[in-house]
Structure 1
Amino acid sequence: MDSRLVEEVRISQGEKMYSQSAVSDDSSTVYTPTHTAEADNMSYVSRLDIREGTNFRAPSPGKTYMIFHRESGKMICLKNGDLNVRKPDQQSGRYWKCVEKDGWLGFRETVSGNVLGHNGKNGFRATMKKHDQWEYFVVVPKGNEGCQLQSLRWPTLKWVGIDSDGRSLVNTTSSDEAALWEFVEA
């Protein structure tokens, strides 16, 4: 057989699938993702059709997720340091590892290692490496509608919504203004 054949193998790094690409008979191996952003988006749409009427679960610490906005089908992405809700492309960081500290959840973008958190105003950013109070979240499952996020904005919890620009994450004061999310395990 041709040494350029690709064989899928599960690599124990996060929970992602990688392809092992043999480019020659020597021992050098290159690991590449087995899917693209377009494939992620397509598989999400088909999963949504299958999942209608099911209860969505909150994410679990230690697992990695793509976080989809239920209404638009776009994802929370980090691209060139800019955090927003967008249709992902190959340069977008869209995998978020769920972490836990003192009972609070957080979401660490897997490439940069930055944690989703407040920007010091009314919005959010992913620029910090440490999971501290500005990066604390609570996930509230809403049955078959998805999940809502709440963030600690001392001394209260605020709901996470999407600004009128359709891209920016913002704090909101009520669950009626909060966005609904789906956490799809990567």
Structure 2
Amino acid sequence: MVSKTLFSVDPEPEEDDYDRQAAIGSSFWGANALRDAVPWPGSTYIILDRAQGRAITMIDGRLSLESDACATGSATWVCIENKGWFGFRNTASGKYMGHDGRKNIYAVKDRHQAWEFFVARPCPDGGYLLLTTHYDMLLKMRVGDDGRSLVAREEGGTVWEFIKV
């Protein structure tokens, strides 16, 4: 039986017990996945909301944050580079994460162009903000008000963790 949880849980965690080489709970993800990895072109990642532990997942052509991503959809993303900008292509659909011009994050484009450009900005306490271009500014990608969708806003970016798989 395959576990549907993303991470194994230590019953008595120590105060500073963050393990970069922690085994992911499901055999689907693989025991050698590297937590808190630095996003880099050519590598494949699971991208998690660091606070909630939910993965950016493609389900039936739509993005959603899922805690049980291995059972619901595709949660692996290849990081690519174009003109110095990062892009994230879903491994199952081949579509690039980007925004629709109305500040909603989606993954429908076959090419990595301006509204699929991202910057991964390191955060002082770990993780990264993902910023995307919108005309002459960078917007922060964050969890939408519904708790599952993704949006791009000037304020309130979500801290993301990259797990290299």
CA offsets per residue over residues 44-101 of structure 1, 9 Å max, x none? x56x7324xxxx4530100000001011100000000111111214341100000100
Q: Pick from 135, 151, 159: which aligns with 1:180?
A: 159
Task: Report the counterpart of residue 140 of structure 1 in structure 2.
Answer: 121
Point out 4+ residue stretches in structure 1 off by more than 4 angstroms: none
Larger Rg belongs to: 1
Amino acid at match of 2:159: L
Aligned AA for 1:150?
Answer: L
Structure 1 stretches lacking a partner, 5+ long = 1-34
Q: CA RMSD in A?
A: 2.2
1:102 aligns with 2:83: yes
TM-score (norm 1): 0.71
Question: SS where residue 115 of structure 2 aligns?
Answer: helix
Q: Which one has more relative contact order, counting CA pairs under 8 Å at least 6 apart? A: 2
- CA deviations over 1:25-55 (Å, ceiling 9, x no partner): xxxxxxxxxx96725x025x56x7324xxxx
- In structure 1, the residue matched to 2:54 is 74
Q: Give the 5 Å matches for 1:40-119.
A: 41-43=6-8, 49-51=18-20, 56-87=36-67, 88-119=69-100
More helix per residue: 1 or 2? 1
- What is the letter of the counterpart of residue 103 of structure 1? G
Supply the AA of the counterpart residue of 1:184.
I
Residues in 1 aligned to 2:139 and 2:123: alpha-carbon distance in whole angstroms: 16
Displacement of 1:171 in angstroms is 1.2
Instruction: Say which SS state the counterpart of residue 18 (structure 2) adopts.
Output: helix
Deviation at 1:144, TM superposition (A): 3.1
Looking at structure 2, the residues matched to 119 and 86 of structure 1 have their Cα atoms a distance apart, in angstroms, of 21
Q: How many residues align?
A: 144
Contact kept? 2:99, 2:115, Cα under 8 Å: yes
